[in-house]
Structure 1
Amino acid sequence: MSLPNVRKTDDDGLQLELSLSAVASAIADPSRVSMLCALMDGRAWTATELSSVANIAASTASAHLTKLLNSELITCLSQGRHRYYRLAGSDVAHLLETLMGISMKSMKSPQPKTPVHLRVARTCYDHLAGKIAVGIYEFMSNEGWLEPDGNALTPAGKQHFEDLGAILNPNPRRKSSCACLDWSERRFHLGGDSGAALLAAFERKGWLNRTPGYREVTFTEEGKRAFLRIFQLDVK
């Protein structure tokens, strides 16, 4: 009598394996990886821009984008005659950052190859990554802003976020907070809804600027003073 249930379980397992294989196949190409990494800045890019980043012809880029769309790693937005592509969500960005960290382990040299300015600070889709972000996470952990597992802000942490003007979503569709392993620093930075709210607050206050089309961020003089005062971080 239990055979139908066993069959259903087997079917579910097979479907999962096929889906996982499809995602892995979509990522397993240097040109598509270049496109996905470009989209890690959280913005929408045109096919022409992505073909330039990957250094491939527009027709070839179209085929690669179709594969990424079919695997639901990216989405397409249409505005008039223009089409823009972006990552399907923060979970895809987190997957890519994790894969970067795993890939770094197989490199012969233990020294990161990431450009210095990106190791200092960059965006990871909708939150801050890099050395400064790791420093912020360490400060928040030591000061009791985060629960021990890093998956939620403490009441004190929520108050500090409110004081900073970081607007939290009361009903987030993802984790309110999460510890993202920073692939260049090999330590954690803050992700989830809290990480996104913090980056947005920094931008509104004019403490940092995002470079359009890139993951790079630069800090203003006011921001440098604020980071030293609040997080005890000396931003160079």
Structure 2
Amino acid sequence: MREGPDIARIAALIGDPARANILTALLSGKALTATELAAEAGVTAQTASTHLARLAEGGLIETRRQGRHKYVTLASEEVAAVLEALTGLAAGQGHLRTRTGPKDAELRRARVCYNHLAGDMGVRLFESMAARRLLEVRPDGVTLAPAGQDFVSAFGIDLAALRSHRTPLCLPCLDWSERRSHLAGSLGRAMLTRMQELGWLRRAEGRLIRVTARGETDFARAFPV
């Protein structure tokens, strides 16, 4: 047996269709109950419980109890990034479970990937900031440049608070529909939250994000291509 990370174990956990549906549902960033996830997976509550136990044991999800209910989330942004990349690989190979349609076009434009903005708008944000040297993009990762710190602070984000978190400030996440990177990490999460506060974006059903009329104008001004 070769030494090193056991990717086969992780692949087996993700590869089961019911567990894949559970994980995809959690990419919305919302904490969901076992009952809700059973419906997403199309299995009984008992079967869902077994799947959730295996995913938790494998470190892919976390559970927390609040009152009488137990809520499930993805374990980390790293898990979300892997799922987003696998979704892109599946789409690129033509492995689609449903026909494309209006909702798919909307999802390709703007959606949530765990807790940050993805889709065409997420990629535009990332590439605009990189082109203006607000982000420093290197083969080994992404950092916020000094000019980017000024930009982000002026945008209304508390950088000191973000840096107090254990989550990395900037992470590139491969976008499944655009096949280019969008911005993850605590900054990606904060940027999405701030744009919602400004009234540019609003959450719709599932992972979908809709852009307001004000958001169309202000986003284009803040993140020119």
Query: TM-score, normalised to structure 2's length?
Result: 0.88
Deviation, 1:40, is 0.5
The residue type equivalent to 1:193 in the other structure is: S
Segment drifting more, 52-61 vs 171-180:
171-180
From 63, 70, 76, give the equivalent of 1:89.
Answer: 76
1:108/1:22 CA distance change after superposition, 3 Å: closer
| Gaps in structure 2 of 5+ consecutive residues | none
Tell me, in whole angstroms, the C-alpha distance in 2 between the residues paired with 1:128 and 1:108.
24
Tell me, in whole angstroms, the C-alpha distance in 2 between the residues paired with 1:103 and 1:166.
35
1:144/1:172 CA distance change after superposition, 3 Å: same
Tell me, yes or no, if structure 1 residue 201 matches structure 2 residue 194: yes
1:108/1:43 CA distance change after superposition, 3 Å: closer
Tell me, in whole angstroms, the C-alpha distance in 2 between the residues paired with 1:45 and 1:104.
25
1:46-65 paired onto structure 2 within 5 Å? 46-65=33-52
Tell me, in whole angstroms, the C-alpha distance in 1 between the residues paired with 2:83 and 2:92.
15
From 65, 70, 86, give the equivalent of 1:78.
Answer: 65
Q: Which position in structure 2 is the counterpart of 1:135?
A: 124
Segment drifting more, 221-230 vs 77-86:
221-230
Tell me the SS of whatever aligns to 2:136. coil
Segment drifting more, 43-52 vs 99-108:
99-108
1:108/1:192 CA distance change after superposition, 3 Å: closer
Tell me the SS of whatever aligns to 1:41. coil
Q: Deviations over 1:73-92 (max 9, x none)?
A: 11111112111111011111
Q: Which position in structure 2 is the counterpart of 1:232?
A: 224
The residue type equivalent to 1:70 in the other structure is: E
The residue type equivalent to 1:51 in the other structure is: A
| Gaps in structure 1 of 5+ consecutive residues | 1-9
Tell me, yes or no, if structure 1 residue 182 matches structure 2 residue 175: yes
1:205/1:62 CA distance change after superposition, 3 Å: same
Tell me, in whole angstroms, the C-alpha distance in 1 between the residues paired with 2:137 and 2:36.
42
Deviation, 1:172, is 4.1
Q: Deviations over 1:102-148 (max 9, x none)?
A: 22333279xx9581110000011111000111111111111111113
Q: Which position in structure 1 is the counterpart of 2:88?
A: 101
Q: Which position in structure 2 is the counterpart of 1:218?
A: 210
Deviation, 1:178, is 2.2
From 23, 30, 40, give the equivalent of 2:17.
Answer: 30
Tell me, yes or no, if structure 1 residue 66 matches structure 2 residue 59: no
Q: By percentage of residues, which structure has more strand?
A: 2
Q: Which position in structure 2 is the counterpart of 1:170?
A: 163
Tell me the SS of whatever aligns to 2:177. coil
The 8 Å contact of residues 151 and 176 in structure 1, kept in 2 or not, is answered as no
Deviation, 1:225, is 2.0
Look at both structures and tell me which one has the larger radius of gyration over its CA atoms: 1
The 8 Å contact of residues 121 and 216 in structure 1, kept in 2 or not, is answered as yes
From 26, 30, 33, give the equivalent of 1:43.
Answer: 30
Tell me, in whole angstroms, the C-alpha distance in 1 between the residues paired with 2:86 and 2:63.
23
Tell me the SS of whatever aligns to 1:25. helix
The residue type equivalent to 2:199 in the other structure is: G
The 8 Å contact of residues 121 and 132 in structure 1, kept in 2 or not, is answered as yes
Q: Deviations over 1:154-184 (max 9, x none)?
A: 1111111111112331244233212221110
